[in-house]
Chains A and B, each alone.
Chain A
C-alpha cells in the first residue's frame, strides 16, 4: 500500500464525533406493533377521532404491504415487533415554556452537538423547534412568527390547535399507503413539525429543526407537513445527528410539502445520523419519504440535501409539478464511507404545462460503501413544454466502494427537452500531488477537491448550513482517500 493510501485511511478512520448517549429516562411503550399500540399512541397524544381513524387505516394497509427490495441496499430483516413505537422525554406532561425550563442536560447535549440552541437561534435569527426523541421540547421565536401569521409548531400541537388544517392536508402529498415505510409512519408517527405560511407572507426567518434519536430500540417516525399558501415563501432547514450505539435503529420519516400558486418552499437537509462503525456495526436505517406538491401555477419547491450519515439511506425527495410553470429542484450531496449504503435520488413528475426541473446529484463513495443515485424524470402526455436538466456525478475514493446511477426517463410529450449527464471519476493522485506541491497538506487537499466537487450543491444551502455541511463532509471522509 502506498503512503498516500495509508494517509487516506487514517483520514477516514476519524471517529464519529456525535456519539454519546444522554441519560434521560424515556417514557416508552414496550416493543411491538398492533392496533392497540396505534390506539395507545393516539391516546397519549390526546388526538381527535379523525387522527386515530387515519392511523388505524394506515396500519391495516401496512399489514398488507411488502417491504420493498428493489433498492441497491442490503440489511438484515427488520423485526417490526422488536421496535418500540413511542418514546418521549419524561417531562412530556409538563413541557417547558421557555429555554429556562428546558432540562439543562438536554441543552448540554445540544451544546455537545455544536447546536447551542439559544445562541444559534439568536445569532442566526433562526427559530429552532428541537425534537429530542420524538417530542418537541423547545420552540423559539414563536411570537415573531405568529405576528406574521406563520404557524410553526410540533405536529402534535398542530393536531390540537389546528385540526382543520391537518385534516385538510395530511396525506394529500404522500398518501397513507404510498409505500411500506410511509404506511408504517402514518400508523405510528410520534411527532414532527408543522408549518403553515398564510397567503402572501414571506416567512420572516429560516425555520429549522434538529432531530435526534435517543433511547435504545426506539424507532423514529417523524412527520412533517409544510403548507405554503398562495404567494408565500418559506425556507426550512432540517438537520440531524444521533448518538453512537450498537443496535440498528429504524428511521422512517415522512415529509409533505404543499406549494400553492406562486408559492415557494425551500427545504434543506443536513443528515448526519450515526452511520455505524468501520465494520458496519450499528447505524441508522434511514428510510424516508419526502415529496413536494407544486399544486399551484408558478410554484416552486427546492430540495437540497447533504447526506453524510446513516448506515442505510433510502430517500427520494420528489416533486409533483402539477401547476403550470411550476419548478422543481433537487440538489444533493450523498457521502457513503466505510460500510454505509445509500440509495437516493429524486423523482420529478411533470404534469402541468411549461414545468421545469433541475437535478444535481453528487455522490461520494469511500471505504467499502455503496452509493447509488436513483432518479425518475417523467413527462406526462399533457405536460407541454417540460424541461429537465440532470447532472449526476460520482466521485470514488478507494478500490472497494461502489458508485451506481439508475436514472429513469419516461417521456410522453414531444415538446419535452430532457438532458441527462453523468460522470464518474476519482480523486486522482495527480490532483493530490499538484496541491501538495503547492504546499497544501494532503488532508486539506482532499477536502478541497471534494468540496470543489460538491460546490454546485453547497451554494444552494443557506449560509450557516453550508459551513456546517462542509465541515461535516470533511469529518465524514476523514481517512477515506487512497
Chain B
C-alpha cells in the first residue's frame, strides 16, 4: 500500500530524513519509535504533504501512485489521515462544520453524493459515543479551548468519520491520562481491518499495550536503524534509546 524508498528531506538547511525506506501493507499496524529529533514527526508530515519539508530524494508511493506529486488535500482524499501531535485551534469554525466539509470533500472525490446534515449528525453522534465524547463538542470551535486529551479524542473522531485507508497517528498518546489513552486505543482498534493500514508514531511503548503492532521500527537520525516485532518495543522500553544509537553506530 505505502512504499517509501530512500526518502530524504530537509527543513531549511537541516537534513532530517536521510534515506528512509519503509513498506506498509493493507491490514498491518506499524509502530515507529525513536528518540526526540529522530525524524518521526517529519516522516508523518512528509507523507501528509506538509510544505515546510522539502523532499530532496527518494520516492513515496501509495497504491502505486506517486504521493509526492499530490497536494495535501488530494492525499487526504485518497485516504491518508494524519492525526496531529498538536491539533490546531481554529477559532469560530464549528467542529461539525469542518468535519462535514471534510467528509463531503472525500465523498465527492470518490464520486459519492454529499451526506445530508441529518445523516451526518447521526453518524457523528454514534462515533462520539464509542469514544466517550460529549456530543456538545460538535458545536464548539475546532479544538478551541480543548484540553490536550479532548484534542486527541477529536483527532480520533475525525479519523473514525473519514475512514482512511492509511492512518498515521503522530504521538497521539502523548500527554494523555489513562482513560483518554484507552479511549484513543479503542478508537484505533475499531478501525483495524484488512483493508486498512495504521502507522503509530510514538515515543513510548505505553500505547502499544493497548494497540498491538505487527511491526516496530526504530528511527534514529532520519533512518530506520532497526525493525522487528512488538518485542522490540519492550526491549526498547527496558534498554532505552541509547542502546539503539550504540547499536546503530557500532
Contact = CB atoms under 8 A, between A and B. Distances in A.
Given A3-B51, A4-B51, A429-B52, A436 B72 contact: yes
A26 interface: no
Interface string B76-100: 1100011010011011111001110
B101 A448 contact: yes
Interface string A430-470: 11011111111110100011011111100000000000000
B93 A448 contact: yes
Given A433-B50, A437-B48, A456 B72 contact: no
Contact of B92 (A428, A436, A437, A456): A456
A440 B73 contact: yes
Given A429-B51, A429-B52, A448-B101, A437 B76 contact: yes
Contacts of B101: 438, 440, 444, 448
Given A438-B162, A456-B92, A433 B105 contact: no
Contacts of B158: 438
B76 A428 contact: no
B94 to A, nearest CB: 8
B71 interface: yes
A448 B96 CA distance: 12
A248 B222 CA distance: 58
Most chain A CB neighbours (cut-off 10 Å) among B49, B75, B101, B158: B101
Nearest to B168: A437
B92 A442 contact: no
A279 interface: no
A457 to B, nearest CB: 10
B58 interface: no
A436 B78 CA distance: 12
Nearest to A425: B91
A448 B102 CA distance: 12
Interface residues of B, number: 33
Nearest to B106: A439
A146 interface: no
B124 to A, nearest CB: 14
A4 B50 CA distance: 11
A98 interface: no
- Specify which of A3, A452, A453 lies most central, judged by the most chain B CB atoms within 10 Å of its CB: A452
A438 B102 contact: yes
B73 A441 contact: yes
Contact of A451 (B48, B76, B92): B92
Given A444-B101, A448-B98, A439 B109 contact: yes
A436 B76 contact: yes
A436 B73 contact: yes
Contacts of A455: 92
A2 interface: yes
Interface in B207-235: none
Given A449-B90, A455-B92, A456-B92, A437 B82 contact: yes
Contacts of A456: 92
Interface in B121-154: 141-142
A304 to B, nearest CB: 17
With most chain A CB atoms within 10 A of its CB, the pick from B92, B101, B105 is: B92
Contacts of A4: 51
Nearest to B72: A436
B140 to A, nearest CB: 12
A431 B88 contact: yes
Contact of A439 (B51, B94, B105): B105
A438 B98 contact: yes
Report, nearest first, the 6 A-B pairs whose CB atoms are least far apart. A452-B92, A452-B93, A439-B76, A438-B102, A436-B72, A439-B105
18 contacts: A2-B51, A430-B88, A431-B88, A434-B84, A436-B71, A437-B72, A437-B73, A437-B75, A437-B76, A438-B158, A439-B73, A439-B76, A439-B106, A439-B162, A440-B102, A441-B73, A441-B105, A456-B92
Interface of A: 2-4, 428-431, 433-442, 444, 448-449, 451-456
